[in-house]
Amino acid sequence: MTDEDNQALQIISTRYAHAVAETLDGRRGLSQLETHFTRSSLRALASRLPEFSGVRVRLASVRIQPMSGKSAEVTLRLATPTHHRAAALRVTRRGSEWMCTDLIMG
């Protein structure tokens, strides 16, 4: 992976992590993620929305682990006023675009 590829991966992974936090916080609609998240990732995120309804969510930390030149595992720590939650994204390059191809929340 070139330095340029690594930098692009860092930027897009961080953007996707923020998008997850903003969606759970209610500041971003799921429909805004449709072009960069797979249907299964969107379903996983949508299934968790009710438990975060009315709760302030912020992105506390992000860790990016490149798996290859075409994918990375991204772990997030999401903070609310009363607890923390973990989430993991798989970010995969498809052609010239990066997609969130998997999302798991703890």
Q: How many percent of the chain have pLDDT more than 70? A: 99
Check residue 8 and give its pLDDT.
87
Report the pLDDT value the prediction gives residue 56, as an integer from 0 to 100: 97
13-64 per-position pLDDT tens digit: 999 999 999 999 999 999 999 999 999 999 999 999 999 999 999 999 999 9
The DSSP H or E segment spanning 86 is: strand 84-94
SS3 15: helix
Higher pLDDT, 69 or 59: 59
Q: How far apart (Å, rounded) are the C-alpha atoms in residues 76 and 106?
A: 10
- What's the chain's average pLDDT? 94
Q: Which domains are present in the chain?
A: 3-105 (3.10.450.50)
Helices 39-52 and 3-25: crossing angle in degrees, nearest 10, is 40
